[in-house]
């Protein structure tokens, strides 16, 4: 019986590239595995797959009766809907420990680094398995994406060393230039429907019984949102009502200015003040230095809901 290696709903580059890289490793050590995904690749992820000659993994939404290795999260809200009917055999992640539970022992590789692919590189080293050139390329890109080309506060020395090693394997001479190419792809938002933009990198969190949705769009210049910001705000309000959420937030992150504009719709008008000590004006606020949802946005929010 083979296992499926799958990331979270609304997959990002770390989820999809990580599933491909981990499935290859598992097959090399005699554990049959197949990469899959829980949604469509983002434009950035598609750019990475095309750049290194990969097809997207199989789209598979149901895992009842299957063995599953989870990549890039440990949250029930981000897992397959029928995960309770599957057997979780492992988790590789770099986030806080979530609420997924198992009835059988499992393998866990969880490290406080900037990207799951950094952990997967450690796994290749542990098992002494050579990383193919094309897989090194997608792993490298996933780390550059998650660490915002090393600007994110989540970035560690381990992430930087892994990128340097993977770039050598992949034959990428200027990895920072490749990172900027990726972020330019992310910044091309023209002609995309507001809902598609809001959901491009969106995660739901259960915060003490309250459902909180947080989306993030990382660009090289916030001016790309000037003509569509009101549409984005209307959409997050609709998303809040449709999903019976307590709060929906959208982070418009400027990787050059190193900060994020927060758009928020919440049952608690003082939420941003309580969490970040910054008041909103008409549902908007500038969060200086905030690049990471995982490290800078989610933990203070959870403190409010505790």
Mean pLDDT of 185-192: 90
Q: Is 291 exposed, middle or buried (0-12, 13-18, 19+ CB in 10 A)?
A: buried
Same domain for 65 and 131, yes or no, is yes
Q: pLDDT class for 2, splitting at 50, 70, 90?
A: confident
Span 56-106, pLDDT tens digits? 999 999 999 999 999 999 999 999 999 999 999 999 999 999 999 999 999
Same domain for 259 and 156, yes or no, is no
Number of structural domains in the chain: 2
CATH number of the domain enclosing 223: 3.10.310.20
Same domain for 204 and 233, yes or no, is yes
Q: Which of 60, 46, 41 is nearest to 2 (CA)?
A: 60
**pLDDT (0 to 100) of residue 139:** 98
**pLDDT (0 to 100) of residue 190:** 86
Residue 189 located in a structural domain: no
CATH number of the domain enclosing 91: 3.90.1640.10
Residue 44's domain comprises: 3-184
Residue 157 located in a structural domain: yes
Q: Following CA atoms 137, 162, 117, 300 in sequence, which dihedral angle do they give, to the nearest 10 degrees?
A: -130
Whether residue 299 is predicted with pLDDT greater than 80 in this model: the reply is yes
Mean pLDDT of 175-179: 97
């Amino acid at each position: 019986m083979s296992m499926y290696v799958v990331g979270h709903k609304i997959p990002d580059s770390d989820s999809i590239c990580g599933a491909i890289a981990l499935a290859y490793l598992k097959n090399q050590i005699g554990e049959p595995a197949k990469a899959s995904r829980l949604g469509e690749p983002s434009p950035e992820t598609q750019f990475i797959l095309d750049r290194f000659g990969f097809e997207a993994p199989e789209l598979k939404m149901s895992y009842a009766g299957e063995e599953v290795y989870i990549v890039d999260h440990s949250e029930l809200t981000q897992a397959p809907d029928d995960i309770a009917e599957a057997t979780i055999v492992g988790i590789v992640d770099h986030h806080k420990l979530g609420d997924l539970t198992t009835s059988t022992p499992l393998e866990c590789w969880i490290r406080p680094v900037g990207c799951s692919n950094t952990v997967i590189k450690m796994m290749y080293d542990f098992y002494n398995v050579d990383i193919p050139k094309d897989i090194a390329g997608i792993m490298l890109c996933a780390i550059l994406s998650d660490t915002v080309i090393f600007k994110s506060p989540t970035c560690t020395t381990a992430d930087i060393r892994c990128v340097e090693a993977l770039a050598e394997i992949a034959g990428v001479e200027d990895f920072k230039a490749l990172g900027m190419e990726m972020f330019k792809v992310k910044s091309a938002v023209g002609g995309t429907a507001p809902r598609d933009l809001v959901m491009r990198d969106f995660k739901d969190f259960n915060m003490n019984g309250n459902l909180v949705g947080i989306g993030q769009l990382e660009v090289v210049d916030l001016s790309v949102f000037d003509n569509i910001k009101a549409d984005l705000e209307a959409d997050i309000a609709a998303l809040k009502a449709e999903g019976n959420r307590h709060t929906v937030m959208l982070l418009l992150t400027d990787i050059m200015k190193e900060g994020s504009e927060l758009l928020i719709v919440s049952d608690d008008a003082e939420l941003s003040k309580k969490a970040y000590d910054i008041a909103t004006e008409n549902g908007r606020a500038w969060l200086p230095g905030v690049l990471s949802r995982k490290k800078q946005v989610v933990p203070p929010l959870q403190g409010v809901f505790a």
